[in-house]
Amino acid sequence: MGANHSLPRQAGKKVAWRKFNKMRQTNQYCQNKNINGNGNCYCFEQNVQILKINAIIEKKLTEVEECSAVLKYKTPHLRASATLEVPPVPSGETWQIGWIQACTHMEFVNTYGSEGCSSWEFPELTSGAYKMISDSDGKTFPWYGSRNELTTLEGPIQDYKVITVSMNDNFHPHVTWTVPYKTDMNGPPGLTHIHRQQSFYTWLVAKRVNTGQYFILKTIEWSLGLEIAVSPERPLGSRATVLTGADPGQPVILDNNILIPLYALTAPNANNAQMLIWKPTVGEWKIIVPPVKTRSSVANQTRDTACSA
């Protein structure tokens, strides 16, 4: 089973609203100077109540599709959802509540028999310069997405309200049958193995838009891996065998929150930072797909990392 937490509903809405107005009138309203929300006055983030939060990875096998030029696979989904009760929002203030995700580890290695292997890598992580990288959609930094993943609350809102934010994630790439640096994609297949292992933190976060401050409400830790054996000599449609079972490890909703580094809230995101390296058994490594944007040196990267599966 995945993680599932339910918490009691907050009472006394009218009393809290009168208290809130009184503090506004006497200049005692909390200005959120403490990132942990430990002030003694009424703060929005202190009065957000998580009514229910759950996270689960589907218990199903990775799906494989063999096409003429590529092998496609689709892993089970991570699905996370949170229902919250949020307090009133004063006029002139805007809050956002949603999901932020960062990747903390990635191994994505495609082996081509004795020729070598290709490896998708984040220079930020493999260089050791950073501990994680944003997994934002790249359009609404730092949020994972801007549809079901995010809710915006613009004041004035004079009553408590219940909101739900949800997100899902999985792996669904294409892998070439032939060595990726070769221009003839119709050549004989050489792919023999696929290995992938990634780890993430996913945060439920409240953001005070007026000040740009973030308040972590909950942290989820999860990982997902897969192994696919490939017999390239077999006919198309019968080459791939999924070795990973249908019972993946489940996410954990942590008791203590993990801080989000500032660099995990800004570009580059994972999609733009990744690069594909060809690592032959004999010869020099070659960058097949350079990163669109990265904070780390690509030149040092290709010398210091090894192809492992």
Domain range annotation of the chain: 3-304
Q: What is the reported pLDDT for 31?
A: 39
Residue 290 three-state SS: coil
CA–CA separation, 285 vs 110, rounded Å?
A: 15
- What is d(CA 305, CA 121) in angstroms, rounded to the nearest whole number? 9
pLDDT of residue 43: 81
Q: What pLDDT score does 185 carry?
A: 67
142: cis peptide before it, omega within 30°? yes
Smallest CA-to-CA distance from 43 within 33, 30, 52, 53 is with: 30
pLDDT in the model for residue 303: 53
pLDDT for res 17: 42
pLDDT at 15: 41
Alpha carbons within 13 A on the beta-carbon side of 66: 17
Q: How far apart are CA 43 and CA 33, in angstroms?
A: 10
Residue segments in the chain with a per-residue pLDDT below the cut of 50: 7-41, 304
Position 306 scores a pLDDT of: 56
Residue 182: per-residue pLDDT: 73
* Predicted TM-score (pTM) of this structure: 0.85
Structure-block tokens of residue 167: 């997100």
Torsional sign, CA 45, 47, 48, 52: positive
- Nearest Cα to Cα of residue 254 among 214, 198, 203: 203
Which two structure tokens, joined as six digits, stand for 230? 């490939």
pLDDT of residue 33: 35
280: tokens are 């032959």
Residues linked to residue 166 through DSSP beta bridges, in sequence order: 81
Task: Tokens 């942590």: give the residue.
Answer: 254
